[in-house]
């Protein structure tokens, strides 16, 4: 038997659309050995998820179809199988962890029944045996009281808990190939570490191959043996993980790695990739990265690059490494790399306090029985003290359920706290009635994690941005209001023409910019950023972080930055508060928290963070020659 669990040869997956044929996956080839973790990375729209759906044979029909290629699982071609045979291996020999658990779990069935079903169907277990296996798997993925969770419905769980349920379902039948599409995006670093260790255990026990799709490059570095970089439907670079991080060759790979936020570059803007991935219906004839590449040469846009094999199996599709192309084309880049961006000046240390929070609590009553009597309280936030200075950023970190989002909402009075005081610019907001509070609404705003669900799909972008101004600043005349909308959309890097589009016409990164524009339009002094960049590609994340920092520099805005991405915290925060069980357990500057943590919980969080070792990124100015 071959060592290859999965082998893909010349895969082409296309979609019929009103704009023409979308070549989402256009000639992809790679293989994954048994017991190996293979990472597929790249921006949104590159074709990663469509590749995974092709492998598990879930390409949406009739629009989507596999036009060409082979997909071999343990040497057997899946594409040519009968539908009954595909159902036999799907969920059994091949399992998939989807990125969005809320749309993957059936809301009308309990958690337990959704795990038990594939175990009984594929493993031939009795209901009692399947129940025991299911409860054990729920415990393995770190869910509390798995016996009780077995009987609850998905809507009662948090996003992170639902993702763990999805992982439990995928691992229940112990598959030969596990496809993990952004499996830990919604999870805290500690749970992320647990899940990845569980996947490693499965590999050690059964030799399971894992296809990991992620935008977290540190996660790739720590968990994958091989990496393929995908761009515009094609693989542009493939290598062992160590080789790729030490010596990336393709300009796209290099720019992705340079966009990673870390403490070492916190005083300057992150490098970004201009433009966006071209639509799959309109790929250029030549190199698909041309137009965005800082090392583009004459002829790149007209001729498709061929794969070039370098040392140690390092494969790259780029004209820079093709002697035949270089000999016939001008090797001088068409675009010169710009000067390094000017450092973003940090606010002076003598900043005056803007926000002072004392003894903040938010308790939710627990009701039971026929008459719904109160039998206890869920102490989501249980007495926290915070101070945020003008023009500074305080990061609030901790696990899901620690009370971070509740605290953020209670501070800006989006939900009313149970007790405690919130003093904003000398005014105690917690003493004000809803009517008295309205003038302060424009000064305290929030950017939500999911921009798509927070933007009205029936309103155009211009109307969405203008709505806040009309509501919170009704005294502004219509003409001035329209002008402010135009200025704001351009401030976040979008164009005036986009104001006449609807939310579904934008990418995730663009929607997040729109969410920021809506907040900026009312000229706030303080913004709660609730996981504002957690779901974004590293390149788009860099753009948003640069935008937030430049806004802070230009307008002196203060941020409460709620996140579980400690790499982002290192880059953007001035101070860090660590939250656990509704309380602040440690607080200090970024340097104090990351270099000399005192609390054991803080140490646990930091130890769980996947990191790229210093000295591994040796590509600056050396690669892509």
**pLDDT at residue 339 above 70?**
no
**pLDDT at residue 333 above 70?**
no
Reported as a single tens digit per residue, the pLDDT across 366-425 is 888 888 898 889 999 999 999 999 999 999 999 878 899 999 999 999 999 999 999 999
Of the candidate ranges 19-28, 233-242, 262-271, 607-616, the one whose mean pLDDT is the lowest: 607-616
**pLDDT at residue 621 above 50?**
no
Percent of all residues in the chain with a pLDDT value above 70, rounded to a whole number = 93
Is the Cβ–Cβ distance between 261 and 55 less than 8 Å? no
Average of per-residue pLDDT across 103-107: 85
3 state SS for 510-555: HHHHHHHHHHHCCCCCEEEEECCCCCCCHHHHHHHHHHHHHHHHHH
**pLDDT at residue 345 above 60?**
no
| Among 129, 50, 160, 105, residue whose Cα is nearest residue 400 | 160
* CA 171 – CA 179 distance, rounded (Å): 10
Kindly indicate the confidence band of residue 188, based on its pLDDT and cuts at 50, 70 and 90. Answer: confident
Per-residue confidence (pLDDT) for residue 348, from 0 to 100: 44
Average of per-residue pLDDT across 248-264: 90
Kindly indicate the confidence band of residue 616, based on its pLDDT and cuts at 50, 70 and 90. Answer: low
**pLDDT at residue 342 above 70?**
no
3 state SS for 171-213: HCCCCCEEEEECCCCCCCHHHHHHHHHHHHHHHHHHCCEEEEE
**pLDDT at residue 159 above 70?**
no
Which one is predicted more confidently, 620 or 240?
240
Reported as a single tens digit per residue, the pLDDT across 439-460 is 888 899 999 877 777 889 999 9
- Main-chain dihedrals φ then ψ at residue 121, nearest 5 degrees: -70, -45
**pLDDT at residue 78 above 90?**
yes
> What would the DSSP string read from start to end of 589-603?
EHHHHHHS--SHHHH
Is the Cβ–Cβ distance between 44 and 508 less than 8 Å? yes
- Main-chain dihedrals φ then ψ at residue 593, nearest 5 degrees: -70, -45
Per-residue confidence (pLDDT) for residue 497, from 0 to 100: 87
Average of per-residue pLDDT across 320-337: 72
**pLDDT at residue 168 above 60?**
yes
Reported as a single tens digit per residue, the pLDDT across 570-615 is 999 999 999 999 999 999 999 999 999 999 999 999 988 888 876 5
Is the Cβ–Cβ distance between 59 and 79 less than 8 Å? no
Q: What distance, in Å, lies between the first and last C-alpha atoms of the chain?
A: 41
Is the Cβ–Cβ distance between 325 and 299 less than 8 Å? yes
> What would the DSSP string read from start to end of 385-435?
EEEEETT-EEEEE--TTSSHHHHHHHHTTSS--SEEEEEETTEEGGGS-HH
Kindly indicate the confidence band of residue 266, based on its pLDDT and cuts at 50, 70 and 90. Answer: confident
* CA 518 – CA 128 distance, rounded (Å): 53
Per-residue confidence (pLDDT) for residue 40, from 0 to 100: 97
Of the candidate ranges 119-123, 242-246, 301-305, 340-344, the one whose mean pLDDT is the lowest: 340-344
Which CATH fold topology does 353-443+524-608 show? Answer: Rossmann fold (3.40.50)
* CA 532 – CA 530 distance, rounded (Å): 5
Average of per-residue pLDDT across 232-253: 95
Average pLDDT of the residues of the chain = 88
DSSP state of 321: G
**pLDDT at residue 505 above 60?**
yes
**pLDDT at residue 336 above 70?**
no
Per-residue confidence (pLDDT) for residue 429, from 0 to 100: 95
**pLDDT at residue 554 above 60?**
yes
């Amino acid at each position: 038997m071959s060592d290859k669990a999965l082998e893909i040869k010349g895969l082409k997956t296309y979609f019929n659309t009103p704009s023409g044929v979308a070549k989402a996956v256009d000639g992809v080839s790679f293989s994954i050995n048994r017991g190996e973790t293979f990472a597929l990375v790249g921006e949104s729209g590159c074709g990663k998820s469509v590749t995974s759906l092709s492998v598990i044979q879930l390409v949406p029909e009739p629009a989507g179809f596999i036009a060409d290629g082979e997909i071999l699982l343990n040497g057997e071609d899946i594409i040519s199988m009968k539908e009954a045979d595909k159902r036999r291996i799907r969920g059994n020999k091949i399992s998939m962890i989807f990125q969005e658990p809320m749309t993957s779990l059936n809301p009308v069935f309990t958690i337990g029944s959704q795990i038990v079903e594939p175990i009984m169907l594929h493993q031939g277990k009795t209901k009692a045996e399947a129940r025991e296996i299911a409860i054990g798997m729920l415990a393995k993925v770190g869910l509390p009281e798995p016996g009780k969770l077995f009987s609850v419905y998905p809507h009662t769980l948090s996003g992170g808990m639902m993702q763990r349920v999805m992982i439990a379902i995928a691992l229940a039948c112990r598959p030969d190939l596990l496809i993990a599409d952004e499996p830990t995006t919604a999870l805290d670093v500690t749970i992320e570490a647990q899940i990845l260790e569980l996947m490693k255990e499965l590999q050690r026990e059964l030799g399971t191959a894992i296809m990991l799709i992620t935008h977290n490059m540190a996660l790739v570095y720590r968990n994958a043996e091989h990496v393929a970089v995908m761009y515009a439907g094609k693989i542009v670079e493939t290598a062992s993980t160590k080789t790729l991080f030490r010596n990336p060759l393709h300009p796209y790979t290099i720019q992705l790695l340079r966009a990673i936020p870390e403490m070492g570059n916190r005083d300057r803007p992150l490098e970004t990739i201009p433009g966006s991935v071209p639509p799959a219906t309109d790929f250029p004839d030549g190199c698909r990265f041309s137009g965005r590449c800082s090392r583009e040469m004459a002829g790149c846009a007209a001729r498709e690059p061929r794969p070039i094999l370098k040392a140690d199996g390092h494969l790259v599709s780029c004209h820079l490494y093709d002697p035949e192309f270089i000999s016939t084309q001008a090797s001088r880049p068409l675009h010169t790399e710009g000067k390094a961006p000017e450092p973003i000046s940090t606010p002076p240390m003598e900043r005056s306090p803007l926000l002072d929070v004392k003894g903040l609590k938010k308790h939710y009553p627990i009701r039971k029985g026929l008459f719904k009597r109160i039998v206890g309280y869920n102490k989501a936030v249980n007495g926290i003290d915070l101070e945020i200075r003008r023009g500074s950023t305080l990061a609030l970190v901790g696990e899901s359920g620690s009370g971070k989002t509740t605290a953020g909402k209670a501070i800006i009075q989006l939900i009313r706290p149970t007790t405690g005081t919130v003093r904003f610019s000398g005014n105690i907001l917690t003493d004000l009635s809803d009517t008295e509070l309205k003038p302060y609404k424009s000064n305290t705003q929030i950017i939500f994690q999911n921009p798509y669900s927070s933007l009205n799909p029936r309103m155009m972008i211009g109307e969405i941005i203008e709505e806040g101004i009309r509501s919170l600043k009704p005294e502004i005349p219509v003409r001035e209001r329209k002008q402010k909308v135009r200025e704001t959309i351009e401030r976040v890097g979008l164009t005036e023409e986009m104001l006449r589009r609807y939310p579904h016409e934008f990418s995730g990164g663009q929607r997040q910019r729109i969410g920021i524009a809506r907040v900026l339009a009312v000229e706030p002094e303080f913004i709660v950023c609730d996981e504002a960049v957690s779901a974004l590609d590293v390149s788009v994340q860099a753009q948003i972080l640069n935008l937030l920092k430049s806004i802070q520099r230009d307008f002196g805005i203060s941020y409460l930055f709620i996140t579980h991405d400690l790499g982002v915290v290192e880059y953007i925060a001035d101070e860090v508060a660590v939250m656990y069980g509704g309380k602040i357990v440690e607080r200090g500057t970024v340097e104090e928290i990351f270099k000399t943590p005192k609390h054991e919980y803080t140490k646990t969080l930091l130890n769980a963070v996947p990191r790229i070792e210093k000295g591994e990124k040796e590509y600056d100015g050396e690669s892509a020659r």
